[in-house]
Chains A and B, each alone.
Chain A
């Protein structure tokens, strides 16, 4: 229990988010209406993705210092979880956009940035699959992972702030802290961010355990 408290916390928080997020009163805003509840699901995806990708870079850096297969697997699975979060974030965002902006896809810098970031990380998976030597694959993909993170993050956090965006907090639109995130919504939003982030780490941990076990079974078969 001591080691796994954060998983329980994640479940509790997400249950709370699912119930409270759908039932608690939300501010009545024009255009947004009830879709504002998507804030609890769409925005935390990007928070979760960023944190899990940071973790992936951390493992890649550690791999370059001390190369062990376990660190490579952790970095890989964390990056894959990040990609999953990114895709769910794109999907929820797309649905939200359909109901508020009227299109599944708008020419918005944040949307395009997110799509390009997904391409960058898709290239990471392609790169991994094009090596036969395991050590070389681990080393080169760790290098690319760090490099990709350094170029992908400006897409999310710098470029949209320079151009006009339909998202809040960009191009002169006030960030949600200013008007639409009232204190009631904060009560659900912050737990949602924490809950989804913890879930991402949990997923990455499970996936890397499975991969590690597969590696062990494989090694046993060879021996």
Chain B
């Protein structure tokens, strides 16, 4: 599995592109709100942040399977178990999204201000979000890669599936913004962890079937 991970890591050519994508999105947000003096109310700040993350996640993860050539897929197929492939892809995507999210957060707070009052909770929430997005979208991109109009399908399949997670994430990060104590968001965080586990387990079980075709 570690070897597989390294294989993933080697083809990180898209990484710089993704970084640029995130920074330009953040900058577009900044410019669109500059007419209000660049100051956003906290709920709008929160919503905008997660929307930026959502779109960059879909774009980043979509590359995972869509850019994979047929020959390389065949090579993986002969070398490793499918479970190892999906776990490695999820782990790689989670790290990628986490990196992107942190960069986005940094840029975002530079240009739009940082109203977060409970920093650790917010970052922990972003971490959970990255893992959740990665495990949902990795399987979806695998599914979409099989179909004909895959880039549209990626968005159509991915967005609604991510909504339950997104609702919880926005709720927790709202709590973090308002500086509420940890207890207030504990049940939401636990549900988030459970949801991540469910999605991860289902991906793990289903991927071998997808892989075979």
A contact set with B: CB distance below 8 Å: 64, 109, 113, 116-117, 119-120, 123, 126-127, 130-132, 135-136, 139-140, 142-144, 146-148, 150-152, 154-155, 158-159, 162-163
Which of B5-13, B31-39, B66-74, B139-147 interfaces with chain A? Answer: B139-147
A117 neighbours in B (Cβ, 8 Å): 160
B window 83-102: CB within 8 A of A: none
Contact B191 A158 (CB under 8 A): yes
Q: Interface size bucket, B side?
A: 20 to 34
Contact A130 B161 (CB under 8 A): no
Contact A162 B206 (CB under 8 A): no
Contact B168 A159 (CB under 8 A): yes
B contact set with A: CB distance below 8 Å: 136, 139-140, 143, 146-149, 153, 156-157, 159-161, 163-164, 167-168, 171, 187-188, 191, 195, 198-199, 202-203, 206, 209-210, 212-213
Contact B164 A159 (CB under 8 A): yes
Contact A147 B203 (CB under 8 A): yes
Contact A151 B147 (CB under 8 A): no
Distance A117 CA – B198 CA, assembled complex (angstroms): 17
- Choose from A116, A139, A144 the contact partner of B163 (Cβ within 8 Å): A116
Contact B213 A151 (CB under 8 A): no
- Choose from A113, A119, A154, A163 the contact partner of B195 (Cβ within 8 Å): A154
The residue on A at minimum CB distance from B205 is A146
Contact A150 B143 (CB under 8 A): no
Distance A165 CA – B66 CA, assembled complex (angstroms): 40
Contact A64 B157 (CB under 8 A): no
Contact B156 A131 (CB under 8 A): no
Contact A147 B188 (CB under 8 A): no
The residue on B at minimum CB distance from A136 is B213
Contact B147 A131 (CB under 8 A): yes
Closest Cβ–Cβ distance, residue B110 to chain A (whole Å): 33
Known contacts A127-B143, A139-B213; decide if A148 and B161 are in contact (CB<8 Å).
yes
A64 neighbours in B (Cβ, 8 Å): 206, 209
Contact A147 B148 (CB under 8 A): no
Contact B156 A140 (CB under 8 A): no
Could you list 14 A-B pairs, sorted by A, with CB under 8 Å?
A: A109-B167, A116-B164, A123-B161, A127-B147, A131-B148, A132-B148, A139-B213, A143-B139, A147-B203, A155-B163, A155-B164, A159-B168, A162-B168, A162-B188
